[in-house]
Structure 1
Amino acid sequence: MKPLMYQEFLKLRFKKSTWISLIIAVGMMVLTGLTTLNVGSSDSKYYFSSAYGGFQWFIIVLIAINASSITSEFQFGTIKHLVIQADSRWRVYYIKLLAISCYNFIGHIIIFLAAVLIKLLLYPGLDLFSHYHYGSTVIVNLILNGALDFFLSYLFIGMVTLIACISSNSAVAVSVGIGVAFAGEGLSNMLLSSFPSIIPIMRWNPFNMLNFQQQFAYPEHIHDTHLLLSQMGIGIFVWSCLFLVLGQLLFQRRKI
């Protein structure tokens, strides 16, 4: 099992897109920082605490890396070698999830450090210890946003993994994942407003959970989501587990 785990980490380490995509995400953060130099103090705090959009960009990177790590094995037939080596498909599946989880953690740390560096270079006057949302300092808000995004990212990992286990083309899983990332919140709001009579049930749809960070930043969004932050956290956990378990079942039954 250890050699297989080592192989998965090597694949991520030496795959060019793993790091190029992350560099592009950091580049977009720098661009955001440069284009918001003249905003007010409150907006400066908002952009910093949201890592200059870095967490959102990294989710797109994570979706692409996660999808390709699974579909490429079936596309090139290397899944046969992995299954023989591990002697179990579920081991292959969860080792891949472990590898992508480590990349997810490292990516969030890099985004956090990049946000701090951008602040130091472009916003030297911004006080990291001034008060912001929930009576916490600006730097604490950045840490909380990073932690919440890391937690929410597993909903995307579960969703994309499930799609990748169905599709033989990573482009399909990536396209659906990115589509959900950009349009999921709007789709949920449309469903909730279109069917008010079944809001108690409809509010638990997985797309509604994507409003998690938005509601953390703007608590008044509870009128759109109809869920408390704690309820959304439970929903994210349940949906993530469900998607990952369904993904495992499909992974085990897929022809190789």
Structure 2
Amino acid sequence: MQTSLSQEWYKFRHQKGPLMGILALLSLMFIMAISVPVTRTAIITGFKTPQWLLMIIVIIGANFMIMEDQHTTIRTLLYRHTYRWSIYLAKLLILTLYTGVLTTLSLLFTVLLKTTLASQLSWQSERLFSHLVVGMAGTCLVGILLLTIILLLSCLFPVNTVVICLGLILIFTGQGIASLTIGSSSPILVNILKWQPLNMLNLMAQLPDPSYQKDTYLSNLQLLAGIIGYSGFFLAIGYWRFKHKRV
């Protein structure tokens, strides 16, 4: 496992994409901060951090997973390793670490932007800082769930443009589809549909704003349990497909 981690980390840090992703995230946050009034809501959401961060994760994750298929180097990699699980898990761990780095940097940059552009707003007012932190934590958790889905999609469709498109559709429509299907269902179906994986994406919005519970029909702990459960499920299915993929 340590060998796989070292190899995947070497490949990851020698790509241009991860650094470009960091620069793109900070640039987009800055543009949002100077183009609209800096309100409490803007600060809590980290100047649209969830949207930008998840988009970057999808693009970086898909490219990192599929690049070896495109360059046919996956054959050499798999032939050298007896246990494919170490390769698959190492890729997930590297991408999870990158997600944590993006989250931390966006949190620190939000603090800097708020201090510079909206010093009149107090961190103690309506627990502004705590809401920001829990919102970022929720985004990070949703990002990890999204990574397990992206790795699965990469094994099913080894074309990065296809996986990126599917990932972006999931980001922009997932929460809306979940709310629509739950809200228009009978009470019996609601008890089933509220546990769909798309509904778990709402954790990043519900943590700082409990009013979302009327739409998700789940508590924060239930959403967290759902994210953990579905992450494990998609991880297992993705590894099974990776294990049996032909090279």
TM category (shorter chain) comes to over 0.9
Shift of 1:96: 0.7
Structure 2 match to 1:33: 33
Structure 2 match to 1:144: 134
Structure 2 match to 1:14: 14
Q: 1:47 to 1:105 in 2, by over 3 A?
A: same
Q: Does 1:64 align with 2:28?
A: no
**1:185, 1:210 within 8 Å by CA — same for their partners in 2?**
yes
Structure 2 match to 1:176: 166
Equivalenced residues, count: 246
Unmatched runs of 5 consecutive residues or more in structure 1: none
**2:62, 2:154 within 8 Å by CA — same for their partners in 1?**
yes
TM-score norm. by structure 2 comes to 0.93
Among 221, 238, 247, the alignment partner of 1:230 is 221
**1:215, 1:221 within 8 Å by CA — same for their partners in 2?**
yes
**1:67, 1:173 within 8 Å by CA — same for their partners in 2?**
yes
Structure 1 match to 2:122: 127
SS in 2 for 1:95: helix
C-alpha distance in structure 1 between counterparts of 2:203 and 2:2, whole Å: 36
Unmatched runs of 5 consecutive residues or more in structure 2: none
C-alpha distance in structure 2 between counterparts of 1:207 and 1:244, whole Å: 16
Q: Does 1:240 align with 2:231?
A: yes
Q: Which amino acid aligns with 2:167?
A: G
**2:29, 2:47 within 8 Å by CA — same for their partners in 1?**
yes
Structure 2 match to 1:159: 149
**1:26, 1:54 within 8 Å by CA — same for their partners in 2?**
no
C-alpha distance in structure 2 between counterparts of 1:229 and 1:68, whole Å: 32
C-alpha distance in structure 1 between counterparts of 2:11 and 2:107, whole Å: 24
**2:99, 2:144 within 8 Å by CA — same for their partners in 1?**
no
Q: Does 1:205 align with 2:182?
A: no
Q: Does 1:53 align with 2:44?
A: no
Q: For residues 98-138 of structure 1, what are the alpha-carbon distances to aligned partners after superposition, in whole Å with 9 as ceiling and x for unaligned?
A: 1111111111111111111212222222222x232xxxx32
C-alpha distance in structure 1 between counterparts of 2:84 and 2:91, whole Å: 11
SS in 2 for 1:87: coil
SS in 2 for 1:52: coil
Among 85, 102, 106, the alignment partner of 1:111 is 106
Shift of 1:188: 0.9
SS in 2 for 1:51: coil
Q: Which amino acid aligns with 2:216?
A: T
Identity %: 25
Q: For residues 160-202 of structure 1, what are the alpha-carbon distances to aligned partners after superposition, in whole Å with 9 as ceiling and x for unaligned?
A: 1111110110111111111111100111112113332411111
Q: For residues 16-54 of structure 1, what are the alpha-carbon distances to aligned partners after superposition, in whole Å with 9 as ceiling and x for unaligned?
A: 1211122111111111111223x5xxxx22211211112
